[in-house]
Chain A
Amino acid sequence: MAGTKLKIKKVKVGLGTCGIAAGASQVYQELESLGKKEGFEVGKVGCLGLCYREPLINIEGSFGRVVLGDISPSELKGAWEDIKNGYFPEEKIIFDGQNYRDNFITRQKRIVLRNVGLIDPEDIEEYLACNGYKGLERVLTWEPEKVLTEVEKSGLRGRGGAGFPTGLKWKLTRAAPGDTKYIICNADEGDPGAFMDRSILEGDPHSVVEGMIIAGYAVGASEGYIYVRAEYPLAVKRIEKALKQAEKKGFLGENILGSKFSFKIKIKEGAGAFVCGEETALIASIEGKRGMPRLRPPFPANRGLWGKPTSINNVETFANIPWIILHGAEEFASIGTEDSKGTKVFALAGRVKKTGLVEVPMGTSLKEIIFDIGGGIKEDKKFKAVQIGGPSGGCLPDKLLETPVEYRALTETGAIMGSGGMIVLDETSCMVDLARYFLTFIQSESCGKCVPCRVGTKRMLEMLNRLTEGELSSEEIPKLEALAHVVRTASLCGLGQTAPNPVLTTLKYFFSEYDMHAKEKRCPAGVCTGLTTFVINEKVCTGCGICVKHCVVKAISGEKKKPHRIDVEKCVKCGLCLINCPFDAIYKV
C-alpha cells in the first residue's frame, strides 16, 4: 500500500464507554472535519477489546481495512497526509490489512465477540452483512424442539456464573405448563471488575437480540426483557436503537418474517443493586419491587416473571446462540474441553500490561491468558494472584496458573468461573486487604433478608477490619474460617452462599499473609494503613514543603529545599501528605 494514494471510504472510531474515556470523541470530531474535506464517511464501532490501545480507528477503503491504535487528535492530524499515501505509523498498526500485529488478539478465538469492534452497532445493515439474523431465519424453518436439541447438543452452559446447561434450561421452560412464558436477558453485570457484557451490548447488540428471539421461539415465549444495569447508559441507548431497527426489518413484532411466531422485547433499567443479578431478585426488580431473592425451587423455569415460566440467561449466553445455529452444534462442541464447550470472554484488568477483552477456547490456562495474551505484569513486577469470579470468586496463586479455564477445574480450586472478570494482582496488593474489600462490598450489597448473610458477613468483616488494624490474634483466625463455612452453608441465595469464597481462597493460598498481620502486626505489601508507616523517599523529595502544610499533627519537618522527614511517633497515618505530594516522594512500608 505504501506510496500509493489510498481511496478511503470510511473511518470508524472505537466509541465504547472505554474508548470515549480514552478520548475517542475528540478523535471522532477531528475525523469528521477531515472527512468533510476529503470526502470519506465517519462511523463508530464498539470496543475491539484492546482497551490498553484506545483510542482505536478502523480505516476502510478499496484496499481493505487497517486498524490503528493509540491515536490522539493532534497526532492524527499530523499523520493524515502520510496515511492517505499509504504510510501508516508502524508503531500504531494493530491490523495491517492481512494480519493482526498484536498477539493480544491473534491468540484469541472470537465467537461471541465475532463482530464487536468491527461493525457499527447502530447500523443493522452492518450486522446483516455479517450473517446477522440468518440464524433466526433458519430456526423459523425448524420445529422448536429441534432448536432445543441443537442447543443441548452444543453443550453450551450459561455464562452468567453458575454454568447451567442452556439447552436444558430452555427445555424445562418449554415443558412447564402455561401459555404465557418469558425470556429474560440478564445484563446486570454486577461483578466489579467485569465489562464483557457491556462491551457486547455496546459493540454488537443485535447478536444478543437475535439470541433472545431464537430462545423465545424455542421455549414458546412471546415476550422478552433485557435487564440492564443503570451504570451502563450507552449500552441502553444502543439496545434501544437495535430493537427499533430489528422491528422495522420484521425480526421483532407480530408474525416474524412471515411466520406464525411473534415476539417483542422491552428494556428494563436496573437502579443499582448487586443482588439484582441473582435471577429471582432480578425478577422481583422487573416487577417493580425491592430486588430481594427468594428461595428456589420453584425455579424461574416453572415460576418466574409474574409467576409465569421464564428462562433467564446471560448476555454472553445469548450472543453464542446465532453462531451455534449457523455453524452447527458439532462445531461448537468441538471447541473447549470435555466439561466446558465453546469459548469464554474474560475482562482482563488490574496489574497486567495489556488490559481488555479476551475470548479464548475453554481449557486455555490462566497462564496463557495473563502472560501470553496479557503480556505479563505491569512494570515487570512480580505476579501475586489472579482474582476471578468477582465477589463470589477467589484468588489463585502462581502455583495454580496452569489451571485451565473451565467450570470444573476452577470450582475445584475454590474459585468459580464466574461471569468473566479477571483481575491480576502483583506484589503491591495485600491479600487480607482484598478479602476485606470484597466483604465490605458484600456487606453493603447484602439485601438483609436472611440472617447468615446479613449478620454473618458483618461479623466476618469486623474480624478482617481488626486484622488489618493489627488487633486480631492468630487464635481468632480459625473462627473466621468457621464462620465463613456457616455463611456459605446457611445463606438463602447465591450472594451469601458464595460470599466467603474470597476469604476462604486467600486463607487457603495466602495464609502466611494473614499470619503476618496477626502475629507480626505487619502488612508485607504496605497496604493496610493501620500496620504501615509513612516514609519520605529522600532521593525524590525536593523539600517543597507542601506536605508540611497539609500535615494536621505537625509530624513533618525539614529545611526548605532539603529532604523532609516524618516523625513516626506523631504521625496519625491520615495519608494527606501522600495524596498531596506532587513528586510522589512519600510511600508506605
Chain B
Amino acid sequence: MGEEKITAKKREQLKKTIARFSGQGEVIALLLAIQREEGFLSRSVLEQISEEKNIPLSELYGVATFYSQFSLHPRGKYVIRVCQGTACHVQGATKIAESLKQELGIGEGETTHDRMFTLEYVNCLGCCSLAPVLVVNDLGVQAKMTSAKVRKLVRELRRR
C-alpha cells in the first residue's frame, strides 16, 4: 500500500468526510468519496476509517481490493482509462492500448515516474457506437481513437 504521512489537518478533513457516511452499508460510497478527494486509498487513510467506523482493516482492504475503481497506490495527474469492451476490441482497442503503452513507457495499471500519467483498462464506457474510445480523468470520452490521436492527446496533456 502507498505510504503517505498524514497531517493533522488532513486527519480533520477526513474525519468530516467519514462523518458524512453514517448510514447502513455506506462503506463503498465512503471509499469512493475519499478516493475522489485523495486520488487513492493510502494505508493511513484506511486505518483511520477502520478506527472511526470500527470496521476491521482487513474488511476494508477486502472491499478496496475487490472493486476495480479503487487504487491503493498514488496515481498520476491524468488517469487514462482505455476501453477494452467488445465493441472497442473488435475495432482496434488493442492497438490503442499498445500505442498508449509505448507513448507513456508504462504498462497497464502503472504510473509514470513523474506521476503525470496512469494507464488503466476499463471494460466498457457505454460509448460503444464511437469505438474505440478512452477517457481521461472525468473529462469527456474521446471517440474513434487512432494511434495518431493517442500521440496527439498525450502530447497535449504533457504540455498543459
Contacts and interface: CB of A to CB of B under 8 A. Distances in A.
Interface of A: 17-18, 20-22, 25, 51-52, 54, 189-195, 198-199, 230-233, 268-274, 285-291, 306, 347-351, 355-356, 387, 390, 421, 423, 425, 428-429, 434, 437-438, 441, 445, 447, 575-576, 578-580, 582
Given A271-B32, A288-B26, A288-B63, A193 B86 contact: yes
Nearest to A356: B129
Given A21-B143, A291-B67, A349-B87, A271 B31 contact: yes
A272 B67 contact: yes
B28 A18 contact: no
B110 to A, nearest CB: 17
Contacts of A193: 85-87, 124, 128
Nearest to A502: B86
B28 A288 contact: yes
Contacts of B86: 192-193, 350, 387, 390, 421, 423, 437-438
A20 B25 contact: no
A425 B90 contact: yes
Given A193-B87, A387-B86, A271 B130 contact: no
Nearest to A576: B102
B25 A21 contact: no
Nearest to B31: A271
Contact of A578 (B95, B128, B138, B148): B95
Contacts of A288: 24-28, 63
Given A578-B95, A579-B102, 14 more contacts: A21-B127, A21-B143, A189-B126, A193-B86, A230-B32, A268-B28, A268-B29, A272-B122, A285-B28, A291-B67, A351-B90, A390-B86, A428-B90, A575-B95
B129 A355 contact: yes
A290 B90 contact: no
B67 A271 contact: yes
A415 to B, nearest CB: 14
A350 B63 contact: no
Contacts of B143: 18, 21-22
Nearest to A275: B66
A18 B66 contact: no
Contact of B128 (A20, A355, A437, A447): A355
Interface in B52-69: 62-63, 66-69
Contact of A190 (B70, B99, B102, B123): B123
B79 to A, nearest CB: 13
B129 A51 contact: yes
B80 interface: no
B70 to A, nearest CB: 6
B68 A272 contact: yes
B29 A349 contact: no
Given A195-B127, A429-B90, A271 B68 contact: yes
B89 A437 contact: yes
Task: Report which residue of A232, A233, A579 has the largest number of chain B beta carbons within 10 angstroms of its beta carbon.
Answer: A579
A194 B124 contact: yes
A195 B28 CA distance: 24
18 contacts: A20-B140, A21-B127, A21-B140, A193-B87, A194-B124, A268-B28, A269-B29, A271-B67, A271-B68, A273-B67, A288-B26, A289-B63, A350-B87, A350-B90, A350-B131, A421-B86, A425-B90, A579-B98
Contact of A17 (B26, B98, B122, B127): B127
A349 B24 contact: no
Task: Report which residue of B63, B87, B127, B142 has the largest number of chain A beta carbons within 10 angstroms of its beta carbon.
Answer: B87
Nearest to B130: A21
Contacts of A285: 28
Given A271-B69, A272-B68, A192 B87 contact: yes
B37 to A, nearest CB: 15
Interface residues of B, number: 45
Contacts of A21: 127, 130, 133, 140-143
B122 A231 contact: yes
A189 B140 CA distance: 19
Contacts of A582: 148
Interface string B21-46: 00011111101100000000000000
B29 A195 contact: no
A20 B32 CA distance: 24
Task: Report which residue of A288, A576, A578 has the largest number of chain B beta carbons within 10 angstroms of its beta carbon.
Answer: A288
A270 B28 CA distance: 8
Given A289-B63, A580-B147, A441 B69 contact: no
B91 interface: yes
Contacts of B133: 21
A288 B24 CA distance: 8
B125 interface: yes
Interchain residue pairs A-B with the least CB separation, the first 6: A192-B85, A51-B129, A271-B67, A355-B129, A288-B25, A272-B68
Given A192-B87, A355-B128, A441 B63 contact: no
Contacts of A575: 95, 98
Contacts of A390: 86
A93 to B, nearest CB: 20
Nearest to B64: A271
A575 B89 CA distance: 16
B91 A347 contact: no
A287 B25 contact: yes
B129 A18 contact: yes
Nearest to B139: A20
A441 B85 CA distance: 9
A199 B129 CA distance: 12
Task: Report which residue of B27, B95, B128, B140 has the largest number of chain A beta carbons within 10 angstroms of its beta carbon.
Answer: B128
A21 B127 CA distance: 8
A199 B141 CA distance: 15
A516 B137 CA distance: 42
Contacts of B89: 192, 434, 437
A434 B29 contact: no
Given A269-B28, A273-B68, A437-B89, A51 B95 contact: no
Given A192-B124, A273-B68, A423-B86, A349 B129 contact: yes
Nearest to B123: A192
Nearest to A233: B138
Contacts of A306: 24
A272 B69 contact: yes
A399 B25 CA distance: 49
A23 to B, nearest CB: 8
Task: Report which residue of B31, B140, B142 has the largest number of chain A beta carbons within 10 angstroms of its beta carbon.
Answer: B140
